[in-house]
Amino acid sequence: MKENISIKENSQEPGSRILLELKGVAKSFETTDVLKGLDLKIERNTFVTLLGPSGCGKSTTLRLIAGFEKPDAGNIFFEGKDITGLPPEQREVNTVFQNYALFTHMTVAENIAFGLKIKKYPREYISDRVDYALSLVNLEGYGDRNPGTLSGGQQQRIAIARAIVNEPKILLLDEPLGALDLKLRKSMQIELMKLKEELGITFVYVTHDQEEALTMSDQIVVMNHGMIEQIGSAEDIYNEPKNAYVARFIGEANLKTGRMSSPSVVSIEGVDFPCTDEGFLSGTPVDVMIRPEDVELVDPLAGQICGVVSDIIFKGIFYHITVKTDEYEWKACSTMPTPVGTKVGIHVDPFNIRNMIQGAKEI
């Protein structure tokens, strides 16, 4: 007998783009608080990435959305209705896991059809849906194969086809590309983005890979210790981090302690750097973020500050160069090699001193 579950309404305006909302969601395991009152809104037909280190709560958030876990506090709303107590099979959600979870005693087609057979759809309908799903993931003609004979990338596509064949409104992906090699992972990233556009459904993707998040996402949710540090587009998260944690976690950054000499000039190591960020009074202590690609290495006489190259690493398309000044190490990216021991000047355009982040720590 099915459990009688009361469905509550959440105030949502007609035509709202909000598909899923988490309000005050908290979850603990034994004595560990994994989520601490999470508030999150996810819009329709967006690619949302939950990004953060291991243990930050991103996979737990995904399991709560899927219904595999229940929150200790808070509510989860889907299209304005409270689904907090609904079991997974009653949610319009499907999940793709990192380990694929394919049935090796079934063919590819039988794996994809499994959920539809459980729901007792007609055989002809199931066959049509399986063929459609296989075409979406570019595996036409593989229906009779055993998944164990296929590559990791092909198995991942089968897992995705099995999820999308049920026509979920949200597809949850828990680090699905983590087991693939770099080249295949990048190829699958492109395929997932195309698939999301073709299907017109919402993707919620979990990863700890910053480059993956920046490449694929319409919206990134940066998480840390069960809380959300920042939500925004890839450009916003990278260029305008809210705090030092986000600046450190997304790409590389020079985080330097400074003091405002005037509302549009910041002093770093006693040297004045013009900047475009305003809103700070003269004399205010600040922390400054400058991305390595925005650090220009010039002749010592042309630099705003001088230092000596202490390290250089070839990264394929650029050199990662470390410059030691009197107080700091500066990270720079350059297409030209500069030998260790070379005295150089450092120049930063005002626009590229993007943030004044209070409370940031040197990294």
Tokens 């469905």 sit at which residue? Answer: 7
Tens of pLDDT along 70-121?
Answer: 999 999 999 999 999 999 989 999 988 877 778 889 999 999 999 899 888 9
Return the pLDDT at 338. Answer: 95
CB 155 within 8 A of CB 102: yes
Tell me what the pLDDT averaged over the chain comes to. Answer: 89
d(CA 329, CA 363): 9
Q: Is the pLDDT at 12 greater than 80, yes or no?
A: no
Q: Is the pLDDT at 10 greater than 70, yes or no?
A: no
Q: Which domains, from first to last, does the chain contain?
A: 18-245 (3.40.50.300), 252-356 (2.40.50.140)
Task: Give the residue ranges of DSSP H helices in the chain.
Answer: 58-66, 108-118, 123-136, 152-164, 182-199, 210-216, 234-239, 244-249
Q: Among 162-166, 275-279, 288-292, which stretch is predicted with the lowest mean pLDDT? A: 275-279
Hey, CA dihedral for 86, 48, 119, 97, is it positive or negative?
A: negative
Q: Is the pLDDT at 244 greater than 90, yes or no?
A: no
The whole-model pTM stands at 0.85
